[in-house]
Amino acid sequence: MKKNIENYPLKLTGENIPMVDFRNVSKAYGDLVVLDSLNLKVEEGEMVTVIGPSGSGKTTVLRMLMALEKINSGVIYVDGEPLSHMEKNGKLVRANEKYLRRQRAEIGMCFQHFNLFPHMTALENCMEAPVHVLGLTKKQARERSEELLDMVGMLEKANEHPSRLSGGQQQRVAIARSLAMRPKMMLFDEVTSALDPEVIGEVTSVIRKLVSKHNLTMLMVTHQMGFAREISDRVCFFYDGKIEEQGKPDDIFENPQKERTQQFLSAVL
């Protein structure tokens, strides 16, 4: 039974609230149902990887978390707060643009194509949103950005423009730029698939570092099965807008229970 938005809690309270909580979320483009009453939780500090065939709705999940897509039904809570919705007179209603902008600023996203601002240096790229969105002073934003560029191994190239950087280097700057907003969580969408094979490792090692040292909540879509297996706390296999199977990486990769998971893995591994 589909619930009306008004019947969902205004916010989630109590201990151990998940960082992300999709409740019966559906999304369609015209007649095409892309997410079908999806329920998905990501706990605080958890690294969850989404795998599955092309067109199964993986990117849509990330885009919905960035409030870039309208939800047709259901509610997504981020850190207990309903995404894309706000409270009005004790009820949930669709959020206005200002509210959406604030929510978007709390989630970091890195895409396959890094989209750095071409006319700014690596450092300026990182400083831009902390200054203009968070209202940090330039000095504060510079300190924060330099620390992050150092973390991703790009401090030496801080004053270079993107056109002078390799794809792997640009992607590392893009990760630092997202982190400079101190997001509640990071979303990674195929961040290595546009890269030359020899530079994939420098990007995956930054993500590995974020998992092992920074305990950041992350949701990652990837075709790199070995990396997903190594790095994830949990792997979700998507099929036709639903989670067909999920579990610990070793269980999913070594002993998948569902036929569709078995077929997918035997085709890609």
Rule CB under 6 A: which residues touch ligand ADP?
Answer: 29, 32, 34, 52, 54-60
Closest distance between ligand ADP and the C-beta of residue 240, in Å? 9
Closest distance between ligand ADP and the C-beta of residue 77, in Å? 21
Nearer to ligand ADP, 57 or 108 (CB): 57
Nearer to ligand ADP, 56 or 169 (CB): 56
Closest distance between ligand ADP and the C-beta of residue 237, in Å? 11
Residue by residue, DSSP assigns the chain as: -PPPGGGS-SS--SSS--SEEEEEEEEEETTEEEEEEEEEEE-TT-EEEEE--TTSSHHHHHHHHTT-S--SEEEEEETTEETTEEEETTEEEEPPHHHHHHHHHTEEEE-SS----TTS-HHHHHHHHHHHTS---HHHHHHHHHHHHHHTT-GGGTTS-GGGS-HHHHHHHHHHHHHTT--SEEEEESTTTTS-HHHHHHHHHHHHHHHHHH--EEEEE-S-HHHHHHH-SEEEEEETTEEEEEE-HHHHHHS--SHHHHHHHHHH-
Nearer to ligand ADP, 178 or 222 (CB): 222
Nearer to ligand ADP, 57 or 130 (CB): 57
Q: Measure the CA–CA gap between 68 and 84, rounded to whole angstroms.
A: 9
Pairing of strands 32-42, 85-88: unpaired
Nearer to ligand ADP, 54 or 89 (CB): 54
Closest distance between ligand ADP and the C-beta of residue 32, in Å? 6
Closest distance between ligand ADP and the C-beta of residue 35, in Å? 8
Nearer to ligand ADP, 33 or 134 (CB): 33
Closest distance between ligand ADP and the C-beta of residue 59, in Å? 3
